[in-house]
Amino acid sequence: MSSRSERPLTLAEPSAVGRKLRTPRSAALAGIAFSVLFGLVLVLARVAVPSNPSDAGAWLTDGTRRREVLFALGLVPFAGIAFLWFVGVLRDRIGDSEDRFFATVFLGSALLFVAMLFVAAALAAALMATAGEDVGSLLSSKTWDVGRRTTHELMVVYAIRMAAVFTIATSTILMRTRLAPRVLVVSGYAIGVALLLTVGFLPWIELAFPAWVLVLSVYILVAGRELASPDDPDANEAALARGA
């Protein structure tokens, strides 16, 4: 039996492993993965699916376009998982410095965004599976109109606007904790407001959201290389705030 008394670690005293998990690298990599995957989903959907509902028959009967849409829909779950990982690690990195109000909006908007993204993708996949080879009967019924409009409303009106709220809440938290440079905070506010007001009216504007997450993730990754050892959390925080 050792003569030195040993006491277990408490939540207030994280282990070295716990401190290593708080490094920003995992958040940065998850953010980059989400940005690439979600950006690819948006581009494929925009290119393959026409904005005019009357042109639906053309792309539904086109095998290449259908495969592109199905491939994009297959990427959605992985994009959502990467985004949740990004949010979780980023929130853990903020730690006790987060404001409860903005933390609630930050987490709630992120969860709603992913939930509605998944529902919209599942509904779109179900519509395509229902069409099968008999596209004409689907288009002549009301099922296609209801399904297409529901998918559009979920993705554009609700999901992307929740992404805008997430961007604004994240920018506010980053500003108050000084974990990002001012240009990222200001651009986050600008993109959030633009998404709230113009999504659905301005084509391709939704790509601004994954682009902003990508820039933020790259900054976190670069700033993380300047972090001190895991045993010096104060120096770590100072390195992350250096660009603010």
Query: Along the 244 residues of the chain, how does pLDDT read in single tens digits?
Result: 444 444 443 434 444 444 444 445 777 889 999 999 999 999 988 887 766 555 555 667 777 778 888 899 999 999 999 999 999 878 776 766 666 777 788 889 999 999 999 999 999 888 887 766 666 666 677 777 788 888 888 988 899 999 999 999 999 988 888 878 899 999 999 999 999 998 878 888 999 999 999 999 898 888 766 543 344 444 444 444 444 4
State the Cα–Cα distance between residues 23 and 234, nearest whole angstrom. 13
pLDDT score at 212: 95
* Pairwise CA distance, residues 26 & 32, whole Å: 10
Query: What pLDDT is recorded for position 32?
Result: 93
* 214 CB-side CA count, 13 A: 14
Residue 238 CA: distances (Å) to CA of 37, 140, 224, 228, 243: 32, 62, 11, 9, 10
One-letter amino acid of 30: A
Distance, CA of 120 to CA of 1 (rounded, Å) = 61
Cβ contacts of residue 204 below 8 Å, gap of 6+? 46
pLDDT of residue 46: 83
Q: Which range of residues forms the domain containing residue 57?
A: 22-227
pLDDT at 215: 93
Residue 117's contacts (CB-CB under 8 Å, 6 or more residues apart) are 76, 79, 80, 155, 159
At 208, phi and psi to the nearest 5? -65, -30
Look at residue 165 and tell me if it is in a domain.
yes
Does a structural domain hold residue 239? Answer: no
4 domain-assigned: no
In this prediction the pTM is 0.77
The count of structural domains within the chain is 1
SS3 of 52-109: CHHHHHHHHCCHHHHHHHHHHHHHHHHHHHHHHHHHHHHHHHHHHHCCHHHHHHHHHH
Question: Is residue 242 domain-resident?
Answer: no
pLDDT value, residue 57: 57
Which one, of 162, 6, 165, 31, lies nearest residue 91 by Cα? 31
* Residues 64, 120: Cα–Cα separation, whole Å: 21
Domain contains 50: yes
Q: Considering the domain boundaries, does residue 2 fall inside one?
A: no
Residue among 113, 197, 119, 208 at smallest CA distance from 162: 113
Residue 238 lies inside a defined structural domain of this protein: no
**What pLDDT is stored for residue 95 in this prediction?**
65
Tell me, yes or no, whether 15 lies in a domain: no
